[in-house]
Structure 1
């Protein structure tokens, strides 16, 4: 299961008007530890940032799943409640889950979320959908070196 970390990268960004502005942009990284998350974000952003930059924060997130869309340019945080019924007491119980959805707009986020939830047997309700400031999301890099390649 993926463990998602939010990493903030601080650097001087060249704005559209030609001015330099210090920014602190968040990225998501799939990693096993804080150390790996920091190393991964440095590896991923180095080709895209000219000049000095620093990783200003690394924190573990509660994102349980990510629904991808390669044509999307924004990330939306969907808070969903899964509804179960306790068989003994017949009481309805809600379990909250957090899902990151790639989309171009709010409607696209809802559509992509519903598409990702297709085939889910559990009852659920969407508690909220909000656009995030996340710039990009990086999946884990699985090394596929077989003995023959080594």
Structure 2
């Protein structure tokens, strides 16, 4: 089963401190197996904090790798990396582009963190580091993982009785 990244845009209204109604747009990135699964995950993620919202955009996003850095940064950067290989048959350098996402405080830190993660495995060059408007990234969770996290546990005696 191949998971894909989907970018969902939501819109809702909020009253600010001057009693003025403003429209807020937020972007979420979810790892899902289909558009339907992505939509459900966005609703599940957003509904707890924002009661009245509208999902007005859902599209696939070509991301090859997502790096979660535990430094508390809420900014997400889209980084384009070209891996360089030599094509023996054509006698030319071949560049293969990969798009990666990483959270960092600034573009320089995003560049450094991507460089650390890539190491010296292959020849590569980082060509673009761009900030995104993604508010939150939701990784894929299998249904079994969700059950365990939600506390749907059974007593050991019941499991053993069902196994016999």
Whole-Å Cα distance in 1 between the matches of residues 138 and 46 of structure 2?
10
Instruction: Pick closer, same or farther for the CA change 1:142–1:86 going to 2, 3 Å.
Output: same
Deviation of 1:95 after TM superposition, in Å, equals: 0.9
Larger Rg over CA atoms: 2
Instruction: Pick closer, same or farther for the CA change 1:18–1:110 going to 2, 3 Å.
Output: farther
In structure 1, the gaps of 5 or more residues are: none
Secondary structure of 1:116's counterpart equals helix
Deviation of 1:13 after TM superposition, in Å, equals: 3.4
Contact 1:74 1:132 (C-alpha < 8 Å) held by counterparts? yes
Structure with greater helix share of residues: 2
Whole-Å Cα distance in 2 between the matches of residues 56 and 77 of structure 1?
22
Deviation of 1:23 after TM superposition, in Å, equals: 2.0
Contact 1:2 1:30 (C-alpha < 8 Å) held by counterparts? yes
Deviation of 1:16 after TM superposition, in Å, equals: 6.2
Secondary structure of 1:85's counterpart equals strand
Secondary structure of 1:88's counterpart equals coil
Secondary structure of 1:73's counterpart equals coil
Aligned match of 1:137: 137
Whole-Å Cα distance in 2 between the matches of residues 107 and 17 of structure 1?
37
**What is the correspondence of 1:97-136 to structure 2 with a 5 Å cutoff?**
97-118=98-119, 121-136=121-136
Whole-Å Cα distance in 2 between the matches of residues 44 and 130 of structure 1?
25
Count residues with an aligned counterpart: 148
Instruction: Pick closer, same or farther for the CA change 1:92–1:102 going to 2, 3 Å.
Output: same
Instruction: Pick closer, same or farther for the CA change 1:86–1:17 going to 2, 3 Å.
Output: farther
Instruction: Pick closer, same or farther for the CA change 1:17–1:64 going to 2, 3 Å.
Output: farther
Contact 1:102 1:112 (C-alpha < 8 Å) held by counterparts? no
RMSD: 2.3
Whole-Å Cα distance in 2 between the matches of residues 106 and 17 of structure 1?
34
Whole-Å Cα distance in 1 between the matches of residues 45 and 74 of structure 2?
17
Secondary structure of 1:47's counterpart equals coil
Whole-Å Cα distance in 1 between the matches of residues 19 and 84 of structure 2?
51
